[in-house]
Amino acid sequence: MAKHAALLPTTFARIIENWLIEDIPSFDYGGYVVGDDEKQATLYCKSDGVLAGVPFFNEVFRQTGCTVYWSFEEGAEIIPMEGRVAVAQVCGPTRRILMGERLALNILARCSGVATRARSLRKIADTNGFVGVVAGTRKTTPGFRLVEKYGMEVGGADTHRMDLSTMVMLKDNHIWATGSIADAVEKARSVAGFSVKIEVECQSEKEALEAIAAGADIVMLDNFTPESIATAATSLKAHCLTINRNVLIEASGGITEENASRYMIPTIDIISFGSMTQGVPHVDFSLKISP
C-alpha cells in the first residue's frame, strides 16, 4: 500500500508514540464516555489531493490497538466527485479509534498537502520538458520534518538535504562570518571529507565563479530573475566546460508554481521550492464512526 514506507527509519514509531503522549498526557475523559465497543470508522477525503502519509496513519492506529484497511494506494490522486470519497476503514475499540483520530488526521492532511504541491510542481516540469531535479528545501516544520520530506517523495519531488549533516550548504551568513567564499569552502572541505557535497549560495555570477574556483560541487543562484539566471547559468556552464568540471547549478528563491516554468531551462540542474512546504493547503480528511 505504501512503497515509500521502506524509506522510514525504525525510530518513526517512537515519534508517533511521543505525539500520542503529547495528546493524552493523563486521563482520556472522552474515551471513558464512549467505552470499548468494537466499531468501524470511515476515513473520507473531502478535497482534491495526493494521498500521502499512510505509514504514519497506520502506525498511530497500530499503537492505539486498531487496524486500518485502505481502498486507495498511497500516491493516488483523489478527486471527490460528490463532496467526499471513502479512502480507508479503521476498525477497533471505539475509544481507541478516537484516541488516534486527530493525530492521524493531522499527519495525513499535512503530508498529503505537501505531496500534492510536489506532484503539481513535477507536472509543471514535465510539461515544460524540464529534466532537472524538482526539490524541496529545509524550510520544514520543527518536529514534523520526516512527515513533510516523506510527502515530497510520494509527490515525486526530491527532498534536498534532510538536515545540516547530510550536505554542506554555505549561505550568505557563512560567507560573511568567514570572510570569503574560498575560506568557507576550504574549511568545510577540511572536515566534510570526500563523501559530502558542498553547495554555495551565490548572489551573483561573480560569486558563483568564486565558488567554482574554490571547489564547490553545487552553486545556488539565489533570488535571480528568470532572465538573469538564464544568462548566468549559460555562462557558468560554458566556463565549467573549459575547466573540465561538472558543477551543478541550482535555482532557488522566490520560485513558485506561478513562475516556475520560466526557470525550467536546460542549463539549470535543480530548482528548489520553499513553497513546497511553506503555505501549503492541507488536504481535507475526516473520520466518521458508523452508528
pLDDT digits (tens, 9 = 90+) for 67-86: 999 999 999 999 998 899 99
Half-sphere exposure of 73 (CA within 13 A, CB side): 6
- Crossing angle of helices 205-214 and 226-242, rounded to 10°: 30
**By C-alpha distance, which of 143, 152, 150, 94 is closest to 118?**
152
Supply the mean pLDDT for the chain.
96
Give the Cα separation of 181 and 190 in Å (integer).
14
242-255 average pLDDT score: 96
Tens-digit pLDDT profile for residues 217-228: 999 999 999 999
pLDDT of res. 82? 87
Half-sphere exposure of 190 (CA within 13 A, CB side): 6
Q: How far is CA 101 from the centre of its chain?
A: 23
pLDDT of res. 1? 60
The terminus-to-terminus CA distance of the chain in angstroms comes to 28
Which active-site residues does the annotation give? 139
186-198 average pLDDT score: 95
Q: Which three cell numbers stand for residue 90?
A: 479503521
265-278 average pLDDT score: 96
- Asked whether the whole model's pTM tops 0.85, one would answer yes
Residue 67 phi/psi, 5° resolution?
Answer: -125, 140
